[in-house]
Structure 1
């Protein structure tokens, strides 16, 4: 089939590369416009746009896919199908109607669970044991279209959102190509999503990532892993924000937010057991081991996080 791939961030690259290596013909790419990046705030093309330029295929960067100019350019590419991975913009019906076989999304959850922008983060935060990826035809309602295929993936106890998303991106790439193959040869039949079991996964904001040390250690651990690497879990120390890396749960007990400093460790109290800090990033500093951070700020036991 002639396909136009839609995606923006790095997590979409495994699927794009898998399509390039398949028997399908990549005739174009749709991605978000160049965005400011770095200290100089220079405009930088998305990872998907950069890969498209390397491949030498047309790259479309509409401000919004409802633009008539974009839709005219898409029609000129004559796609049979538009596979999508983390594109980042809502598609109007007029755009959805252009390819004969529609727009096929690779979504990183087992639908109907965790519809929305942050399914991987929410699955970790909720303590799910298993998640996965689903291919489905995009319809007007968010992530509610009929499904083609599903893969599953166990969530490990130490998984951050970045770890899990990386595995799902790799495994989901194969699922997306298999879905395109099945659509082309007519062997795939869609099935509607169940009415029961729907859960929503809205975007996680910076304020959501603030660690609440009064929560049990398990909840603290899940929040931190769900928010790593983005937007980054954080807490206050002496009135300044510091980012908190993955933690491990200890048998010790301390009041919520209270710090215990050892030679090679830093413990923080929660609503249950204490947690051992892994890495810390203070404002304007590099990320470092918690013990090194503690020595640098001359941290003493009895100090507190969160105030």
Structure 2
């Protein structure tokens, strides 16, 4: 018998649907590219101390290649041990075709995770029927956090029809909308609206180019407004204490010119972190570099030795950090770092 989102503790259901910040956790490596368990746990402590409503692990920011080197379960376990007893949502990435995704969902369930962020990248070229059948099979094991990944980094184009059918799956708890495309973002909202599922599916942004705008926009596509209530973001794996405050401010208002002005500022910071100038080649290394500068990571190593910062990216990170100091949390990290690195 699989886990249903309706069986979660009430505090977690409330947190998800009210909206919260969920950082996508990076992978802490030593110079020899083995996992650094102390720093891996320190990242989880950082996110929870910053006020994050949960942690997403085994996702793109964690590096999909963890599955090839036997780190999928150890990384998930490290976050679960830190989060134990803290009422934090634990979201595990699940990838691949159905057999693999079901296996990963079962591992996550056994470790106490609450949902899986389900990537459909392995279904490029597949039909809608095949993808929906896949989603239903994984949903029989764990609640689903749907995921519209941008096609530029391996995602599959998904229509409003697909999202209507996906939203009809009873064990779908939320959807991360991350196509980096306003038309595709509307397709998700349209699909959930037409499925009559706005009351039981929480919408979360993953659109790094429009984070504040997504959180502030009422999407009125069927007579009643739909709202994106939170974010599950690789961008929020850094400067997390400020990200939590930003998400809360967007939800609480008031919506004034100062708040609207944060949208391009956050997007400019994301452009540096995610290496937009080089088609996202340095996006994971960019997150690592911020965490390295703060002392949370020892280096910026990725599992792929060729995956690193792009030329000029470090200077861009320095520039945006200086330009928007109120969107960074260096002082918060410095004050707590020693307590996390235990």
Higher strand share: 1
TM-score by length of 1: 0.31
Higher helix share: 2
Q: Larger relative contact order (C-alpha < 8 A, sep ≥ 6)? A: 2
